[in-house]
Every structure is written in structure tokens, then in C-alpha cells.
Chains A and B, each alone.
Chain A
């Protein structure tokens, strides 16, 4: 149980374009989903907390107009990187928490974004 998927697993895009990454909880309903960014050999950097049906809460320093998050249902959250730049290239990982067990996070396999 507690399986989270991400799509795509990797994507290459050109500067200036937008990329959407999907995060789905496959066998449970997730009231809260988290989006992280990870640079090589570094820890997970929380970008935002997404609650179903409400606006995402962004961490300090994360541009909400650049990283658009939508949590439209209890099983799906999306992250859209708008007007991508090479410095946005990174490993993006989502996680989902089941209701009443919000301290347990189940991570997706990640999406490798490369902006050329």
C-alpha cells in the first residue's frame, strides 16, 4: 500500500517553455501533498505544501508564480514549472500523506527535469 507515482520520470525542455509534473497517490487519498527539489548529493528542499481544494503554501524563497501547484483532487497534485530556465534543472520529488497520518510521507519516484 501507500504507492505514489510521478509522471513523467524525466523531461527535457527548452528555455522559456513550461513543464507540468503530475503526482498521484494510487491506493490512498492524500489530503496533503508536498513538493521537493533535490540537487545532486544534497538533501530534500521543501518547495511547497499542497492541500486538496486550497491554495498551496510555499516555502520562503520559492516563487509561487513560477512553480504553480494545483491539488485538484485527493489523489492528484500537479507542479508546473513556468518559463523554465537552465537553473530550474533539478530532481523534483512529490510526497503524499494519508489522512490522520500526516507525519508519514510516501514519496514518488521523482522527475528529472533538464532545461536546455
Chain B
């Protein structure tokens, strides 16, 4: 089946620093999505990307849909303590009608 490689697995940063994480796949996806999960909660949709090359922002978050449709990255600028959590990328395949999730990036922000 389709697999996503998400990196890094974890990050420890100081408050105020910028963060970058990415996902790559051997398969093409029609849509890329980024979610954040807080402990004991369900994931929350952050950004959805629909077209190859698309660059979309949501506040301090910026994500891009790779030109090859096989990768995506998420940047967080000027991190704050509430950015702590697990960030998941997901690729949606229209034919399959479902998303494939990456293994997550655990972000820790030190005040």
C-alpha cells in the first residue's frame, strides 16, 4: 500500500524558532493535508493543499504541495509553547477514497 515518510520524527526547539517538517511518498496524492494532535485528543486539520505547487498559509503555518505531487512540507514560524504536539501529514488518494497518514513529528517547544 501507499506509505508516507515523515521527518523528522521529533524536534526540540526554543520558543521563537522556526520549524520545518516534511513528508515524502513514492506515490502521487491528489491532496495533501496537515494535522496537529494534542495528547489525548483527536487530530485537528491545519492546512489542506489541493494543487501541485500550491503554497498555503494559516497564521504562522505555511505548507506547500510539491510539484511532483509526492511530497509536502510544513513550516511553523516563531514557535510558541502551545505549538507543542504531534504533527501528521496525510495524502489523500481520490481513487482509494481515503487518506494515508505519516508517522508524525513530535514537537517540543522550550520556553
Contact = CB atoms under 8 A, between A and B. Distances in A.
A82 to B, nearest CB: 23
A44 interface: yes
A112 B42 CA distance: 11
Interface in A81-116: 93, 95, 102-110, 112
Contact of A34 (B40, B98, B106): B98
A84 to B, nearest CB: 21
Q: Secondary structure at chain B's binding surface: helix, strand, loop or mixed? A: strand
B33 A104 contact: yes
Which range contains the number of B residues in contact with the other chain? 20 to 34
B49 to A, nearest CB: 10
Contacts of B31: 103
Contact of B99 (A41, A105, A109, A110): A105
A46 interface: yes
Given A49-B97, A103-B31, A104-B48, A43 B102 contact: yes
Interface string A55-95: 00000000000000000000000000000000000000101
Given A43-B104, A103-B48, A103-B92, A110 B40 contact: yes
B41 to A, nearest CB: 5
B43 A107 contact: yes
Interface of A: 4, 6, 32, 34, 41-44, 46, 49, 93, 95, 102-110, 112
Given A32-B97, A43-B103, A110-B41, 14 more contacts: A6-B42, A42-B104, A43-B104, A44-B101, A46-B99, A103-B33, A104-B45, A104-B48, A105-B33, A105-B45, A106-B45, A109-B41, A109-B42, A110-B40
Interface of B: 30-31, 33, 35, 40-45, 48, 88, 90, 92, 94, 97-99, 101-104, 106
